[in-house]
Every structure is written in C-alpha cells, then in structure tokens.
Structure 1
C-alpha cells in the first residue's frame, strides 16, 4: 500500500457503523408529531444541518431520542430572537460548548467565581 492510499479516508457512504447496543430511533412522523412541526419543516432542518438524522436503505429519516428536544430549542430560539437558521446553528454550537465547559468545571470541582479573570 502506498502512503497516498493510507492517508485517504473512506467516503462516508462506504463507512459502516455497527452498534453494539441497539439504539431506539424515532421516525420522521413521530418526531414531527412530538415537536409540533410539519414533517417537511423537520426535513428542512435536517438539510440545514440543525438536526441530526440517519437514513435507512429505503431513504427514510430516523432520529435520536434527543431530536425533539433539539427541535424545541430551535423553536424557542426562532420565537425569542430575530435569528436566521445559520445563526441558530451557531447559537446551538455555542450552547453545546458552554454545556461541555460547565460539565468540565463540575468534574474538577472548581467554581467559576473562584477562577481569576486574567
């Protein structure tokens, strides 16, 4: 095998994921019903990259159980702030990063008000 062949990564379409523990997935219809959105709107949010979904061999969308929570968060951001969908994606990323940092602070036992400003 040449070095060029080793450095190339396989296409996402060729990578297979084998789950050791089956994860319960939600259908497009159930996610739309729970979130109160039209299924076409949910598809649009998947296309924009705001909600993660996988496709089965038949082309149907399947969602993680956390998808309705993400959709509710998107609806709250759209209703409460004058943001477009690109901005919502950025806000969602920042909120996720803040959650990770807060979790790291909790694990270390440090309090944010104990840390120096500089």
Structure 2
C-alpha cells in the first residue's frame, strides 16, 4: 500500500524499546530521548517578548513601551529577558481595538483600560445585589 503523503514518516522514528513499561510517562521520556523530539502538551505559562510580539502582531519595542507604561504586566528574569503571562494576549487585543477605534494614544490607553475594568466591576456588583425596595423588577 502506498501512502498519499510519502514525505511523512512514522510519528516516532528511530528504534523502539523492545520491552514493555508499566509507566507510560517513562516510556514517553525515553522515546523523546531516543528520537530527539519533544512535544508541547500544554500552553506555556509565560511567553517571551518575541513570541508575544509575534502572537499579537506588534513590534517588540511597542510591547516594551507598554510594559514601561504599566499597561501590560510582565516580569524579567535574572538574565534580563522579558516574560509575559498568556492572559496579556487578551489585554493587547483590547489595546489594539481601543487604538484603532478611538485613536487613543498609548499613554491614555492605560487610564481607559482601568476605567473600563472599574465599570465592569461596578456593573457586576450591581447585578449581584438583591432588590430590597419596591416590587419585582419591571424587566
């Protein structure tokens, strides 16, 4: 039987261990050592500057400026590399929408984001309150 994709090989090239293992985690680790391949099974808990900039379609220098302005949350490691949590991808998308829709400068975007978050908190608190006066809600 010929394969329609001859350039594709087997998923795990290289020699296979001949004996069975009870621990599949150990088998996976040994297979990755033998083949030299590792696979990411979960999203990273942090993104480096280049990865974050590539994922958001922005220039790394702009990301640095937003971190300095306090609009994006980030930290630096001992080597001085900038790291951002994946949650900041959503913040960056929000920044880009505000910038495109309202032509707000980057310094003012921090204030606008804080106000929008405060409004969302107040609305959530208002929805959580029970009506103690009057009758049932008219809506």
TM-score (norm 2): 0.58
Q: 1:72 aligns with which of 74, 79, 93?
A: 93
Q: CA RMSD in A?
A: 1.9
Specify the alignment match of 1:107 in structure 2: 128
Looking at structure 1, the residues matched to 109 and 126 of structure 2 have their Cα atoms a distance apart, in angstroms, of: 26
**What stretches of structure 2 of length at least 5 have no aligned partner?**
1-43, 132-136
Structure exhibiting the larger radius of gyration computed from Cα positions: 2
Specify the alignment match of 2:112 in structure 1: 91
Specify the alignment match of 2:60 in structure 1: 39
SS at match of 1:42: helix
The total of aligned residue pairs comes to 89
Measured after TM superposition, the shift of residue 86 of structure 1 is: 2.3
Q: Which structure has greater helix proportion?
A: 1
Looking at structure 1, the residues matched to 127 and 48 of structure 2 have their Cα atoms a distance apart, in angstroms, of: 35
Looking at structure 1, the residues matched to 88 and 130 of structure 2 have their Cα atoms a distance apart, in angstroms, of: 31
